[in-house]
């Protein structure tokens, strides 16, 4: 299985998937920590992929989404964005609505 197929499988495996640096318990960058915080505040049940644990995934997800930075959030298989976009969506109440639709 190539890295793009692996990413497709990861995104399909859960309704909400966050590609991040580290884990929710031990985030390895401030943007990843903030993204986890926003998802939790939105009541999301989500899975994560630690891009630091797999360099192929770290590069592959950037190519998959055509987005240069980590973290990256996917809801129902669709790319939502990174930390800045999540913050903006949360402030408008849109992230909470998106999360509610996955339940």
At 83-96, the pLDDT tens digits run 999 999 999 999 99
pTM: 0.97
List own/partner pairs for 64-67 with CB under 8 A and 24 or more apart: 64/4, 64/7, 64/8
Q: What is the largest CA-CA distance in the chain?
A: 39
Here the CATH number for the domain that contains residue 15 is 3.40.30.10
For residue 6, is pLDDT > 90? yes
- Residue 27 and residue 33 in contact, taking contact as beta carbons nearer than 8 Å: yes
Number of domains in the chain: 1
At 14-31, the pLDDT tens digits run 999 999 999 999 999 999
Task: Give the domain extent around 87.
Answer: 3-100
């Amino acid at each position: 299985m190539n890295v793009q197929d692996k990413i497709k499988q990861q995104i399909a495996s859960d309704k909400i998937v966050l590609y991040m640096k580290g884990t929710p318990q031990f985030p390895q960058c401030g943007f990843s920590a903030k993204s986890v915080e926003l998802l939790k505040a939105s009541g999301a049940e989500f899975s994560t992929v630690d891009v630091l644990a797999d360099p192929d995934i770290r590069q592959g997800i950037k190519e998959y989404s055509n987005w240069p930075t980590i973290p990256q959030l996917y809801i129902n298989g669709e790319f939502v964005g990174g930390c800045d976009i999540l913050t903006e969506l949360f402030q408008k109440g849109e992230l909470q609505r998106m999360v509610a639709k996955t339940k």
